Amino acid sequence: MLFQYEYKIAIPKLKSNKSKAIMLAKKMLPEYVFDTAQMENNPLTFPEVKTLMDGITIGGHRISDVEQVINIKKTWNLLLTDVANDNFCISKDYFHKINKCIAKNEAIYSGRFRNGSVGIAGTLIYQAPNHKDLDAIFEHELPIILADFPPIEQAIRLFLWATLNQFYWDGNKRTARIIANGILLSAGIGIFNVKTRDILELNTLMVKFYDYHEADEIVRFLYEKAIETLAE
């Protein structure tokens, strides 16, 4: 399932520095893990997430909420290692690898495409693709999504495409977010991250995007608020 937009992203010339991009990601990792968890309505506070990432157990929360944060952290570490070792790639197998890690014990099963129907809460007319078509959609549309676009636009397009198609039972936005970061980190440009303060706006725009497949507003939003370049 593809989408359309006319908004032109005025991408500046950026110097590539992969080691610096990875260093930035490692430095800011607690914030990225917290922001990602907040998108899933996870109740852990930032201090609790930071404590958990430091290897200290915390109490007062459901095991599933704690495990979700741990899975996000593990998946980020997996990505950073793969990017540093030039093992990151945009493929079905790599999507499965990321989803298996980030949605572990949360979905009906993780690490492979769903085998049934899913919906999106709050949408009016959205229908996810039939699960029988997911392999064909991935193989046919991924080259179109990436094409010859610059890395920033590739990251935005891939995030929207992967969430629109709902390839997995759960963890679609998280999986897409990690892959988008892999694109930017591998290019040595920066980070893809939606801050907690912007999640409400993101969710509002995503509902419209799901229903009508028109991406001008959400592309503009993601470019202005979710892309953190090294120059910043």
Confidence (pLDDT) at 224: 94
Q: How far apart are CA 21 and CA 196, in angstroms?
A: 21
pLDDT confidence bin for 74, thresholds 50/70/90: very high
Whether residue 93 has pLDDT greater than 90: yes
C-alpha count within 13 angstroms, C-beta hemisphere, residue 167: 32
Token duo for residue 174: 């998280």
Q: How far apart are CA 36 and CA 100, in angstroms?
A: 16
Q: In the chain, what is the straight-line distance between the N-terminal and C-terminal CA atoms, in Å? A: 34
pLDDT confidence bin for 231, thresholds 50/70/90: low
Whether residue 215 has pLDDT greater than 70: yes
Strand, helix or coil at 190? strand
Domains of the chain: 18-229 (1.10.3290.10)
Residue among 135, 139, 140 at smallest CA distance from 168: 135
Whether residue 232 has pLDDT greater than 80: no
Whether residue 75 has pLDDT greater than 90: yes
Confidence (pLDDT) at 149: 92
Which tens digit of pLDDT belongs to each residue from 40-56?
999 999 999 999 988 88
Which tens digit of pLDDT belongs to each residue from 155-192?
999 999 999 999 999 999 999 999 999 999 999 999 99
Chain mean pLDDT for the chain: 93
Whether residue 117 has pLDDT greater than 60: yes
Confidence (pLDDT) at 200: 94
Mean per-residue pLDDT, 131-146 = 97
Q: State the pTM of this model.
A: 0.93
Whether residue 64 has pLDDT greater than 80: yes
Q: How far apart are CA 208 and CA 3, in angstroms?
A: 12
Whether residue 137 has pLDDT greater than 90: yes
Strands 227-229 and 190-192 turn out to be: antiparallel
13 Cβ neighbours under 8 A, 6+ residues apart: none
Token duo for residue 223: 């470019």
Q: How far apart are CA 85 and CA 72, in angstroms?
A: 20
Confidence (pLDDT) at 14: 83
Mean per-residue pLDDT, 25-43 = 93
